[in-house]
């Protein structure tokens, strides 16, 4: 029942598609951190309308399916003059979506930075921007590393949706082979294992980061 | 946004919305039931059952829901189990979300001290009375908030079923887009619809939570 030839034949193709999955995940994670940071700063600094803007962003991203967001971004980018960029659209959509969750994670961490530190920084003459980038955010990122890691494994698990806008990542590559070979176990088993392995390596990177920063902070 | 076009295709979209609501409701109920079975298996005291639940949970947490959907839709026919799109979709939602539901229930059960139940029994309450008056009211307050979050996730993930042509809201939107070629407008419209439904759902659950936790203020 298990066709070994098909298995050997499909693994190299799947491996190269897995690289696309990793690239998409990394790009989405970077965008998610960017959007999350901007959004949390809007929400907690005293910029007029910032709080409202950030809450609306979070509410929209958490209240609509990623699939729908992908289509909105994919068909919305051409209206901004960016055409035929499926990978970019997917990374932006997943990044925007995850950014809402990153906002919530960072918000909890930012609010945990002791008030005294901020007062001390101000007393030393630091500007608001300096306080954000040198006092609040570095600590917030370190504290939220575990939560961010689990958020980014969710990002990894949402990348297969990029196939709806024709990004050939791991899952979609599998569907293409499957449609040709009329056999599925040999293809979907390595795919499932592939996701678990990628997720495990992300967790390892995060553990390493955690150790590194814990060392710096004690 | 072209309102006239949206009105023209409203009946079709509404049909899809109905399927989304039905399949989501069914998915939530079934995954609660399956989740309860998982908890029961884990707490049964039989080692192999507990191990099976743990492996199952690890696998589900490790793979994307789309991969599970493809496995059910493409691999199961290989072993002679051909499901309709709707059944495959519902099975996917149930299998994927039951470990999350199990986790919620486990948390709620563990949060209620066993001493309370023993106390209730010792003042002469029957098992049923103790469950109805002591366990359930407290557990509900603990279950509703995480249940809201997980069920919102399930409703959003039901859109993925459009990929295997379950005729739900996202699928019908795709059909309409293919006919009108106004993708941005219709997908934005779909986003608004999902957001509205989930907004109402979230607030409904929040007021339900306030109702069932009134006892907390009465102390």
Q: Other C-beta atoms within 10 Å of A193: how many? A: 13
State the pLDDT at residue A65: 97
Beta-carbon separation of A76 and B64 below 8 A: no
- When pLDDT is averaged across residues B3-23 and rounded to a whole number, the result is 91
* Average pLDDT taken over every residue of chain A: 91
State the pLDDT at residue A40: 96
Beta-carbon separation of B199 and A59 below 8 A: yes
State the pLDDT at residue B43: 87
With both helix axes pointing from N to C terminus, report the angle between B3-42 and B183-212 in degrees, rounded to the nearest 10.
40
Instruction: Estimate to the nearest angstrom the gap between the alpha carbon of B77 and the chain centroid.
Output: 25
CATH number at residue B91: 1.10.3720.10
Rounded Cα gap, residues A90 and A25, in angstroms:
10
State the pLDDT at residue A42: 95
Rounded Cα gap, residues A92 and A69, in angstroms:
10
- Please tell me which residue of chain A has the smallest CA distance to B193: A64
- The single residue listed with the structure tokens 């917030």 is A140
Beta-carbon separation of B64 and A160 below 8 A: yes
Q: What one-character DSSP code corresponds to residue B168?
A: S
The first and second tokens of residue B88, run together, are 């495959």
pTM: 0.89
* Number of structural domains chain B divides into: 1
Q: Which residues of B touch A191 (CB under 8 A)?
A: 67
Could you state, in order of their start, the residue ranges of all structural domains in chain A?
4-217
- B148-202: per-residue pLDDT in tens? 999 999 999 999 999 999 999 999 999 999 999 889 999 999 999 999 999 999 9
Q: Which residues of A touch B71 (CB under 8 A)?
A: 184, 188, 192
Number of Cβ pairs < 8 A linking chain A and chain B: 100
Query: Which helix (H) or strand (E) covers residue B33, if one does?
Result: helix B3-42
Complex ipTM > 0.90 = no
- Please tell me which residue of chain A has the smallest CA distance to B152: A63
Third-level CATH fold of A4-217? MetI-like fold (1.10.3720)
Beta-carbon separation of A60 and B195 below 8 A: yes
């Amino acid at each position: 029942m298990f066709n070994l030839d098909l298995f050997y034949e499909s693994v190299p193709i799947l491996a190269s598609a897995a690289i696309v999955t990793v690239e998409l995940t990394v790009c989405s994670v970077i965008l998610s951190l960017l959007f999350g940071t901007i959004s949390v700063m809007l929400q907690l600094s005293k910029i007029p309308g910032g709080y409202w803007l950030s809450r609306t962003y979070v509410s929209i991203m958490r209240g609509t399916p990623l699939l729908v967001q992908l289509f909105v971004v994919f068909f919305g980018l051409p209206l901004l003059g960016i055409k035929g960029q499926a990978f970019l659209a997917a990374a932006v959509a997943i990044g925007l979506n995850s950014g809402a969750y990153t906002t919530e994670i960072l918000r909890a961490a930012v609010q945990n930075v002791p008030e005294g530190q901020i007062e001390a920084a101000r007393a030393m003459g630091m500007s608001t921007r300096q306080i954000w980038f040198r006092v609040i955010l570095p600590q917030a990122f370190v504290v939220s590393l575990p939560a961010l890691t689990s958020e980014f494994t969710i990002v990894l698990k949402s990348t297969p949706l990029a196939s709806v806008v024709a990004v050939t990542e791991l899952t979609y590559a599998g569907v293409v082979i499957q449609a040709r070979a009329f056999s599925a176990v040999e293809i979907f088993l390595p795919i499932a294992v592939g996701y678990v392995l990628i997720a495990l390596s992300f967790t390892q990177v995060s553990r390493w980061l955690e150790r590194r920063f814990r060392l710096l902070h004690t | 946004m072209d309102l006239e076009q949206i009105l023209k295709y409203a009946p079709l979209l509404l049909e899809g919305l109905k399927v989304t609501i039905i399949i989501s409701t069914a998915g939530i109920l079934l995954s609660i039931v399956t989740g309860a079975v998982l908890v029961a298996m884990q707490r049964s005291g039989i080692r192999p059952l507990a191990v099976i639940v743990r492996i199952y949970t690890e696998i589900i947490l490790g793979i994307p829901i789309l991969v599970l959907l493809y496995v059910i839709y493409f691999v199961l026919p290989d072993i002679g189990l051909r499901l309709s799109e709707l059944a495959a979709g519902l099975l996917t939602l149930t299998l994927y979300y039951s470990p999350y539901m199990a986790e919620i229930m486990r948390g709620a059960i563990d949060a209620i001290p066993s001493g309370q139940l023993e106390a209730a029994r010792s003042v002469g309450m029957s098992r049923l009375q103790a469950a109805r008056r002591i366990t359930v009211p407290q557990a509900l307050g603990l279950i509703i908030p995480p249940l809201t979050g997980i069920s919102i996730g399930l409703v959003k993930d039901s859109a993925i079923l459009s990929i295997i042509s379950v005729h739900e809201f996202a699928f019908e939107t795709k059909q309409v887009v293919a006919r009108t070629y106004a993708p941005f407008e219709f997908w934005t419209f779909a986003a608004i619809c999902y957001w509205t439904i989930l907004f109402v759902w979230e607030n409904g659950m929040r007021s339900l939570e306030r109702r069932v936790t009134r006892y907390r203020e009465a102390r």
